[in-house]
Structure formats: structure tokens, C-alpha cells
Structure 1
């Protein structure tokens, strides 16, 4: 490690020892066993259907499922895809898998059967866990489609939402072709990439635990009060900051399956939840929601960490006015590893202009177009070294190798600026940049400016194809009420002193944004939409 990086880690950042130098951390399974022995009757998990499982009940249900898996020949090291809703049964299925020494591969419940088959084939899964039915979907029928797509022997567990009823279906065929797995693999996440096929992201218990420990330590998360999780447990946000965090700390996990901001406010208020991590649009929805109560919104919640997208300054201001007891913070991570978060005492203006400070043991840099490390404060692609970094992309070794610089830094694909104090400011993604007349324009500043408009619910700035300039700025807007005209949008921006370089050159109104399960806007779909639209 060069001397500049060493100084950056040791002096400019937290004095906590780097995580990679610590002794191995106990796994969530080990910690859950300890919490179970201490108090088996504490509620381990509850959901928005008013279902709940104590630690003992969760352990016993997981034991039953584990036995059923073993009876079907599943042994340690086999991969099991878990694609379940945010139900208490998700935790039971997950705990059953890890108790049996199997490797869970987790997917959001919104994944369609052919995509489930693709990911299951990619990782050589021998079993898949699904709900019997969910939001109008018949997974019994879909499991047949899934098996046909797989074309090999697979066991499918169909779970009812009553803690009691479940059924197995075994589809015959040739044995699954198992790919080569990275040594030490303990979990597989799938990217919520807005383009292309999913990446199968292999993690070790060490990498998973490093990120968990960073967040838990920085925000002093304990088991005294619940963790609220509206993000899908099958996505990295819900998995890391919901399932694992609750097991590690002993906190009750309060789940919301079907997102409804008013229902979320009720759940947090009723159960006195202490912390959540969710995409920025979740916070926006909570700010916009009506709340007729003597208590403020998110009453009792200490911390709301926003990930997935920068938090517009106007949203932070509104949130702090409506939720005076809740600290709004930023957190930045990829499914491949975690990197930054706001500090608990960061002022709102610091949160508004950054994604937080690097966590202990993390090194962030930006690189030039030639791939060399750029001076601190330079806008460029963000690269990182982190103790929470994944092991590899299963079945995509070439992609894995191409994801690193010659110096061994992981290329994130995000662009930004890292300052001398280790704070990160995102400026966009390489694929999201609008290139107008050869000039790179970040969509983040444009989106921040427009998000303050009183009628704008959600906004995404994308490039509209243009014969002369290559691309022009188009603002895609989801509106509350009557849509403003293009001229009215420009007049509003002018009246607030927003620089002309940030003004859109056209707008496109949508009734709803296409989003990933974690709440990120799928800009590739928006680009296709506006490119097909006639001027």
C-alpha cells in the first residue's frame, strides 16, 4: 500500500482498527444461538400481516425445514435459491439453509420464473424456496415453468404464509451442472443492475460480517429496539441491514412486504423501531404521506439511512421538519461490498452534499480515464478496497477480472469525488452520464434541482438522442396532480436561481417510474421510452 493511502487510513479516518485486522467475527447463526439461549421468548421477527415468531418458534420452524432439505439429499455446500416475500417465513427458510451448511442465494420476490431459472442455473442451485402464492401470482404453476427452464433435477419448496403448511415438488432430470465456487463462499447475492443479466455475487462470511460490523458499530445498533425493513430481504439492502443485522444484534425484525408509506409509519410508531436502511424514494414517500397523529412521523426512530441515490437537500429539510427525532443519513454500497455512511453527528448540510465517510478499513479513490489514481478531490470513477469486498462473480470470471484496476482496486462504475476527510460525493454513473456535445453532464445535480418542485414526486434525468449533439437533457417526471408545462418547469428553475446548465431541454411525464426491487429507477427503460417518442 502506498504511503498516501496509508496516511489516509490511519490519520484522516476513524481510529477504530481496520476490520481486516480483527479476529474473525461470530456468524449471525452463532449470535442467534446466543440470543436464543439468553431469552427464547423474545420476538425474533414480525411482519405487516401481524404474524410473529419468537426466537424459539423461529428456531423450531427452521429445524423442520432443515430436516426436509436433508431428507431430499441436500448437503453442506449445496446452493438453495430463496425467493420469498418479506414474511416471517423468509427468516425461517434462510435460517434453515444456513443451519444445514447450505449456501443461500437470495432473490427479490418480484423476480419472474424465467429469471429465477436463469440465476438458479448460473449458480448450480439444487433447490428453490418460493411462496405458494403472492400478490396474485400462482407459484405452484410458476414452479412448473421454472423447472422446464432449468431442465435438470430440482427440488422446489412451496411455503404458505401460515407457519404450518408447505409442500415439496421434485422435478426429475439430469443432475445440475455445478460451477466452480470461490473458496469460502457463504452467500450469493444478485445484482439489481438496471441493464443486462443478473450477476451472481459470491460473498464469504468474513466479507458479509465486515460490512455488518461497520454499520452496527458506527450507529451503535443494539437488540433493545426493533429494526424496520421495508426493502426486500432478497436484495442486498434488506439482507444485510434486515435479516443479518437482526440476527447479529438480537433486535426484533419488523418487516413490511407491500410498500405503503402510511402503513410504514404505523408499524414504526407501534413497534418503536430504532433504525432502517432503505432507498431514497422510500423517504420521499414518507415525507409526502398524510399523517394525522399527535406524534411526529417515524416517532422514536433514531436513524433513517438512505441508499441507492443521493438525497436531495430539499428532501432532507422536509424530512427533518416532519421527523425531528430521526437522524437522516446517507449510506453507499454495492452488492459487491459496502463503503461509506454518514456519521451519526453529521450536520444536515453534510448529509445533503455527500454519501458519508468511508468506513474503517475502506480505501476509496477515483481514477483517471487512463486508469491511474487521480488526486484527491478529482471527479472520476470511484474505485475501492474494502474488507467487505465480494469473492467473485460465479460463472462470469472474465467480468470479475475486468472489474479491477491494475492496482487491484474494484471499479464501482459510479462517478464521484472523495475529499481529504474521506467523504464521498456521488456525481453519477458511467452509464448514466449525459454526453451533450462531447461534454459529460451528471444527472445528479439536475435531479436534485428538480426534486424540490412541489409537484414532482420522482425525477430522473437522462439523455435523449440528438442528431447534432449526441444527447440532450430530458427530465422524466412523476407528478402529483396536474402536470406543469415545460415552460413552467423552466420558469420555476429560473426563479430559484438554478444554473441554466442544469435546465432540461425537454420533459417527459410518467404515471410511475420503472424501478428495481430496491427502489432504484431503471434509467435504461426510460432511455428506451424517450428515444421512441417523437419530438
Structure 2
């Protein structure tokens, strides 16, 4: 790129890296001055005939050259629809080759994808549309019995900026995905984005209130993916299976789809994470690497006792999203692959990995150490003072791939960052003498269900909107399969509801499927602390928690 080529500025509401830190990251070589879509451009030039992406139930797939060509067609089609460089577009496709085509089509059109998950519903989508000022939405027609087109109709009524709905499948009155894929590609005259501006917006786990939007710049996210691929020893001969939702940071760039693309590996998209379907996909495609949450890892390990086909080709199984119990880690290593890697990270940035050459004691008992030498970590007490070495405290972080502020969220940013720009993770950890972290708990009131983080306060607000509920507390209880299940402890104002009625109410309010209670307990009153707050720790113990 010529030095004087004009670049598109970042959107209003984006908090950039401070100039001094940005300069240091460039000087250290972490930032390469490239945009995220160059991953595909470079891969198509280096490995045009190699399979880039394939669906688990297919024997075909798209080569890197074919993926690049389809992305160009989609980019041209998006431009003809009126989606302009810098526009935000909600991307909510399930795992599959169209997801990869849409992602890179948006990047090549200069748009900024908002990485929604398939389980998000109208409550979350409406929030994302409002915060991002999205002009477009890309969805399937339906999946798992849910009609995304009906949701889109409601969103259009309430968000006039949302002008374009693109549907993979039966489009109804909306734009068919096939129309974009069949458009003629044309030379792009879009000015390149500044690599230090957002490439995409990830969705936070919703640890406090409604999920927030996380701006990941071209520079930081490219480093995130390529450095992760290096730490995992990912190579061109590897086959990566994405069975977690592909729009999630873990299967997208840790190293995920993007890391695989950086080294010319193949990504297999799986829509069904059950052992039966996943084991068949691993055998069919010779999968060598995949990523799971602890509940799935434990289930897969147990399933080796009854499934007729078990994984034989796996060399690396990443487990993250919550802490993996040491006993489960040993079970995974004994049944699925000795190549277990614990991953502790966040969509906001910081990633910690155990390394492939770590001894079993480290792999089974810690959540790894930082990806980058210039990840700056502080472990502090409730007053913000550093704790003694080895003691528990809240983890604060800044570094070359950790955000400096949520998108258009000034109030949240004032709370979530300290005066030196360190992000307050809300995670309680202790750091061992060898530098590896052990995750011990959370500061924030959240429930980690099946790898998804649910803000208790937001769920409680939705529940309290029902006239039959006087007060409610949502708590996480241990579950052997989900990690934590959601328990709603409810004081009813009149005739009690059952769990199905409660979740039907949440469905009407458009609450994400993964954020609905698994268990309902009717109570005469909620326990309180001496100062009158709901005693959630005591409540959880009473209901069977630790």
C-alpha cells in the first residue's frame, strides 16, 4: 500500500489504542500493518488448490481460491445493495461454509461484521442493532425450529437504519443469499481500512447487563489469530473442527478459522457437537485439532465408552470457556488425546494457553500463561492494590490485542477500565511461580452455562417483567454436563408458574435460548445479607451449590 493512500477512519464511539502503546506494538513486530481480509488474499495466492473450508457432512468444500472468489462476489453484491464501507452488518449464520464466505465478503466490502451467535434472539439483536447502527442483517431462514425471518421483521419495524436483510435459504420477502453469491465480482475501489480501526465487533459474554460490543482491530485480531496458531503448532497439514458457534472468539481466532487460514490448514464446520456427530466428522475428515467447553470435553471423554467410532486423529484438544476440573483433564487426556490444551481467555483480548510441551501437572491443573510477552497483567484485591505473589485477586490486563473500550459504551468503560487503561476482567485468579494462572472464581455476578456467560442481573430483569413474580434471584448451580445450570429462585405474587411457563415468557421477550433457567424453585422469601441485599452465596449453598 502506498504511504499516501487514504484510509477509512474508524467509526464514532471506537476507543483506539493510545499512540505510544500502538507504536511499541508496531516496533515489536506484533502489528504488521495489514487488514484482516489479507489472511484470505495471501492464502489464495499461496495455496489456491488447498481446501479452506468444508461442512462436516460434505465431502467437497471450497478451496482457498474458490473461497476468495466467492467472497469477492458477495462483496460486490453487498455494494450493489447499498452497504457501504464502514457500515455495520449483523452476521448470524450457523456453522457452515456460507459463514466463512459472508465474513470475508463483508470484510472485502469494507463493512464491519457484528458477530452474533445463532442462539441470540430479538432482545440481543435489537440491542446490537441499536448500539452499532447496523444497516444490514445476514441470517438463515430457520434453524432448530426457530424462524429467523420472523425475528427480522420485528427488528425492521423498530430499527429504521436496518435496511437490508439477507437470508440463506427461503428468503421470503428478503434478499436471497444466493443472489449475492451469483453476482459478478468486480474490481474494488474501496479505500482500505486503517489497520488500527475495527475489523469486526465481537459480542461480550454479558457479565453485567446486556452484552456489549467488543471492537477488535485488524492489527490486534490478526495478531490474535496468527500468534495463537504458532503457540498451538498449527500447520498446513492440520484439519481444524469448529463445533462451537463459529462467531465466538474461541473457534474464530484462538486459533480457529482465522488461525487455520494463516497457515493453510483446513477448517471443518460442524453443526452438531454431540459425540456421535462430532466423532463421525473427525473420522471422515481426519480432524487433528478442535476446541470445546469443559462440559462437552467431559461428555466426549465419557462417550468413548459407548460410541462405536472414537477419535483417532486428534493431536490437540483445546478446552476453554470455563475452568476444567483436574480430574476431567486427566480423563480427557486418557480417552480423547494426550494433547490437551487448557485455554483461559476473553473476547475482550487476553489469551492464556498451556503449551504442547508442558508437563501433565501444568496441563491438568492450570489454565496456562499469556500468549504474548507484552501482555501486562495485574492481580489486585478489592481495593485495587496488588496482592502478594500466589494470592488470589482480580485479573486486570492490557496488551497488544486487548481492547481499550467497548463500542459506544462510555458508562461501561468508566467502570471496566482502571486509570492506566487496564481492563478489569472480573475473573479471580492466582499466579503460580511458573507464571501459569489458576482461575479460582469470578467477581461479577454471572453464570457460566455450557461455555456461555449469562449476566444474572439481566435475566432477573426479564423475569421480573412477569406480573406473577414479586422477586427473583438467578444463581448458577453445579452441573456435570453444563458446568453450571441456571436456577431461578422466585417469590411469586400470586399463582406460581411452572418452568415451562416461565421460559415461555422469556421466549416472548426474545431472550437467548442459552440464557433460560434449567431449574425453578419457589420460595416464600429470598435470603438477605445483614445490609439487606440478596445473599446469593447463601442461596446457592441452600440449593445445592458449593
Task: State the TM-score, normalizing by the size of structure 1.
Answer: 0.73
Q: Distance in 2 between matches of 1:154 and 1:479?
A: 41
Q: CA deviation at 1:403?
A: 1.3
In the TM superposition, what whole-angstrom CA distance separates every residue of 1:13-35 from its partner, at most 9, and x where no partner exists? xxxx9887116334442232222
Query: Where does residue 56 of structure 1 map in the other structure?
Result: 65
The answer to whether the aligner puts 1:38 opposite 2:34 as a matched pair is: no
Deviation at 1:521, TM superposition (A): 8.3
Deviation at 1:104, TM superposition (A): 1.1
Per-residue Cα deviation, 1:77-106 (whole angstroms, up to 9, x for no partner): 111111100011000111100111211111
Check conservation: 1:182, 1:392, Cα contact below 8 A. no
The answer to whether the Cα contact below 8 Å between 2:35 and 2:195 also exists between their aligned partners in 1 is: no
Query: Aligned-pair distance for 1:217?
Result: 1.6
Of the three residues 97, 101, 104, the one matched with 2:110 is 101
Contact persistence 1:262–1:286 (CA under 8 A):
no
Cα distance in 1, alignment partners of residues 125 and 65 from structure 2: 31
Cα-to-partner distance string for 1:192-227 (whole Å, 9 max, x where unaligned)? 225521101111112212222331121221122211
Which residue of the other structure, out of 303, 311, 318, is the alignment partner of 1:289? 303
Equivalences for residues 102-117 of structure 1 within 5 A: 102-117=111-126
Alignment partner of 1:71 is 2:80: yes
Query: Does the CA-based 8 Å contact 2:220-2:401 persist in structure 1?
Result: yes
Aligned partner of 1:303 in structure 2 is 316
Whole-Å separation in 1 of the counterparts to 2:481 and 2:425: 32
TM-score (norm 2): 0.72
Q: How many residues align?
A: 434
Give the structure 2 partner of residue 222 of structure 1. 235
The question of whether the paired residues in 2 share the 8 Å contact of 1:364 and 1:418 is answered with: no
Q: Which residue of 2 aligns with 1:334?
A: 346
Aligned to 2:406: 393
Whole-angstrom distance in 2 between the partners of 1:374 and 1:268: 44
Q: Secondary structure at the match of 2:69?
A: helix
Distance 1:289 1:520 in 2: 25
Provide structure 1 residue ranges, at least 5 long, that are not aligned to the other structure.
1-16, 169-180, 434-442, 448-459, 463-470, 481-509
Rounded to whole Å, the distance in 2 between the matches of 1:520 and 1:289 is 25
Contact 1:80–1:128 under 8 Å retained in 2: yes
Q: Matches of 1:344 and 1:357 in 2, distance apart?
A: 12
SS at structure 2 position matched to 1:382: strand
- State the partner residue of 2:262: 248
Q: Is the 8 A contact 1:229 1:255 kept in 2?
A: yes
Alpha-carbon distance change, 129 to 411 in structure 1, aligned in 2, over 3 angstroms: same
Q: 1:183 to 1:45 in 2, by over 3 A?
A: closer
Q: Alignment partner of 2:350: what SS?
A: strand
Contact 2:239 2:267 survives alignment (8 Å): yes
Q: Secondary structure at the match of 2:332?
A: helix
Following the alignment from structure 2 to structure 1, what is the Cα–Cα distance between the partners of residues 36 and 236?
A: 13
Of residues 421, 426, 429, the one that matches 2:434 is 421
Distance in structure 2 (CA, Å) of the matches to 1:253 and 1:298: 17
Q: 1:406–1:388: structure 2 CA closer, same or farther, 3 Å change rule?
A: same
Q: Assess, with a 3 A threshold, how the Cα gap between structure 1 residues 533 and 112 changes in structure 2: closer, same or farther.
A: farther
Note if contact 2:330-2:364 (Cα within 8 Å) is conserved in structure 1.
no
Is 1:351 matched up with 2:363? yes
Provide the secondary structure at the position in 1 that maps to 2:331: helix
- Which residue of the partner structure matches residue 285 of structure 2? 271
Partner Cα separation in structure 2 for residue 99 and residue 474 of structure 1: 42
Matched, 1:192 2:201: no
CA distance in structure 1 between the aligned counterparts of 2:232 and 2:223, rounded to whole angstroms: 14
**How far 1:530 sits from its partner (Å)?**
4.6
Match of 1:126 in 2: 135
Structure 1 equivalent of residue 20 of structure 2: none
> Contact conserved, 1:313 with 1:349, CA < 8 A, in 2?
no
1:131-161 CA distances to partner (integer Å, 9 max, x unpaired)? 1222222233322112113233411111129
* Whole-angstrom distance in 2 between the partners of 1:59 and 1:270: 25
CA distance in 1, matches of 2:207, 2:520: 14
How far is 1:395 from its partner?
A: 1.8
Give the superposed CA RMSD: 3.5
Cα distance in structure 2, aligned partners of 1:342 and 1:161: 44
Change (3 A) 1:353 1:530: farther
Shift of 1:111: 1.1
Corresponding residue SS for 1:277: strand
> How far apart, in 2, do the equivalents of 1:99 and 1:326 lie?
40
* Matching of residue 234 in structure 1 with residue 243 in structure 2: no
CA distance in 1, matches of 2:195, 2:132: 11
- Give deviations 1:477-533, integer Å, cap 9, x for gaps: 4589xxxxxxxxxxxxxxxxxxxxxxxxxxxxx99xx9xxxx9986x957x945748
Could you report, residue by residue, the CA deviation over 1:220-246 in whole angstroms, capped at 9, with x for unpaired residues? 211222111111112221221323122
2-structure distance, mates of 1:318, 1:407: 42
Deviation readout 1:221-277 (Å, 9 max, x if unpaired): 112221111111122212213231222222111111132122111212222222222
Distance 2:230 2:355 in 1: 11
Q: State whether residues 339 and 386 of structure 1, in contact with CA within 8 Å, keep that contact through their aligned partners in structure 2.
A: no
Q: Distance in 2 between matches of 1:116 and 1:304?
A: 32
